[in-house]
A and B are shown apart, each in its own frame.
Chain A
Amino acid sequence: MNDLWNGVVQALILIYTFDSDLIEISLRSLQVTLSALVISCIIALPLAAVLTIKRFKFRRFMIALLNALMGLPPVVVGLLVYIVLSRSGPFGVLDLLYTTTAMIIAQTIIITPLITSIAHQSLRELWSEYHDLLISMNTSHKQRIKTLLWDARRALLTASLAGFGRAIGEVGAIMIVGGNIDNATRVLTTAIALETSKGDFALALALGFILILITISLNLGTHWLSKTESEGRW
């Protein structure tokens, strides 16, 4: 209980004093997570729309696979990315291991199936509603995808926020590929893991509270900006 209280106090002190380390770690966390989120959304949302409207061989298999990959163990992803990016690996020449780019790649792999699956579920419902109308209007596949993505944007925002939540709280994969290097690849989650292993629970808790604060603020801010719950919206 004492640790918890100390954690809260220390978190407040760190925030109040604009602790430079804290700001740097927090900004790096956001940079890595938001970059992974943007890349994932660029891949996942159109992919979900294509899976919704197009019928092709192995489509069902792909949907089942994506659903299964939602539970992808981050540590395994980290290990695979590590092997691929290590000096002896196929992309070793790029020298990306222990950089934020490697962390972004790992997070992108982890959250893309999650965003795709949730987005696909929402788009499938909307497509069953729109199907006859869009077919009768002789829309092209591209027009259908654009229409679905636009009209389901609020549901897709929720899918993206789920991806954000998974990415910002991720530690296993980014610890492996990032190495938790001070001033280079240390982010909030890896810093928490480090402080806990050092026995500095108060600082670990303080960082934890700040992580929660960032996550909640971003979610609330996004919902407020997109007016998700406003009257007269969908």
Chain B
Amino acid sequence: MFPLLAENLVVEFQGKHILGPINLKIEKGDLAVILGPNGSGKTSLLKALHGILKLKLGTVRWSCSKTESIGNQMFVFQTPIMLRRSVFENLTYPLLLRKIPTAEANHRATQWLDRIDLRSSMQVPATRISGGEKQKLALARALITEPEMLFLDEPCASLDGKTTFEIESLLQSCLADGTTIMMSTHDIGQAKRLAKNIYFLNKGALESIQSAETFFIKPLSQNASKFIAGDIVE
């Protein structure tokens, strides 16, 4: 499936330039973090790579067939989208879509409920659990399919420290299991804790791609330096 190659990727929305041209390459096992100020195109880049945003120009290529790549990637949105079903049914949903037998789906869902500590709420409607629990459930719903590639759009935005820690632990463990992750975040601390490589975006342009160690010590772009320092990036 890997590497994932984006070539001259350009995104427009209603005639307005949003992103690009972007060229990048994601290798298997990477944990790539997209950093950048608000409106820099982080979400658009993730959605374009995942294939849910129409490209104006350029290509996104995987080293496998389209069907295989689509079936092996999942996306977790910044605001978790919960199906109007119970917590348990939300977990089994992607498995049943993939025609996994109900008994197997139920077994896996139960294991994940324990893992995200939501066993006691399994029959509760997913729309009624807390924001942090929803985000954990959305992440578990993505990971239950054992995707090779996981896209996350600011998964810990407005979550408390405990939930952020739990989500980061889940991400670390799925990374250890071989899942490649690409996520956007505003949280520089989180980027320092998790990232292997940092992609710095500003005004729709990819200003730098660096390993996390070098990015925080010697960023290649002036705007990245300002961003790390907490200054306003123009």
Interchain CB contact under 8 A, B71 and A232:
no
| Residue among A126, A138, A143 having the largest count of chain B Cβ atoms under 10 Å | A138
Known interface pairs A151-B83, A232-B124, A232-B128; A139-B52 also in contact (CB < 8 Å)? no
Would you list which residues of chain A between 127 and 158 have a CB under 8 Å from chain B?
129-130, 132-133, 135-139, 143, 147, 151-152
Mask, B74-108, CB within 8 Å of A = 1, is 11010001011100000001100100000000000
Least Cβ–Cβ distance between A73 and chain B, in angstroms: 37
Q: Considering only CB atoms and an 8 Å cut-off, how many residues of chain B contact the other chain?
A: 18
Interchain CB contact under 8 A, B125 and A233:
yes
Known interface pairs A126-B84, A234-B125; A133-B70 also in contact (CB < 8 Å)? no
Q: Does B127 contact A (CB under 8 A)?
A: yes
Interchain CB contact under 8 A, B97 and A136:
no
Residue of B nearest to A126 (CB): B84
* A232 proximity list for chain B (CB < 8 A): 124-125, 128
Q: Which of A129, A132, A137, A151 is close to B97, meaning CB atoms less than 8 Å apart?
A: A137
Interchain CB contact under 8 A, B83 and A132:
no
Total residue contacts A-B, CB cutoff 8 A: 36
Least Cβ–Cβ distance between B128 and chain A, in angstroms: 7
A126 to B81, CA, bound (A): 11
A137 to B124, CA, bound (A): 23
Interchain CB contact under 8 A, B125 and A129:
no
Q: Considering only CB atoms and an 8 Å cut-off, how many residues of chain A contact the other chain?
A: 17
Q: Does B196 contact A (CB under 8 A)?
A: no
Q: Does B61 contact A (CB under 8 A)?
A: no
* A139 proximity list for chain B (CB < 8 A): 97
Least Cβ–Cβ distance between A110 and chain B, in angstroms: 31
* A133 proximity list for chain B (CB < 8 A): 77, 81, 83
Residue of B nearest to A234 (CB): B84
Interface residues of B (CB under 8 A from A): 50, 52, 70-71, 74-75, 77, 81, 83-85, 93-94, 97, 124-125, 127-128
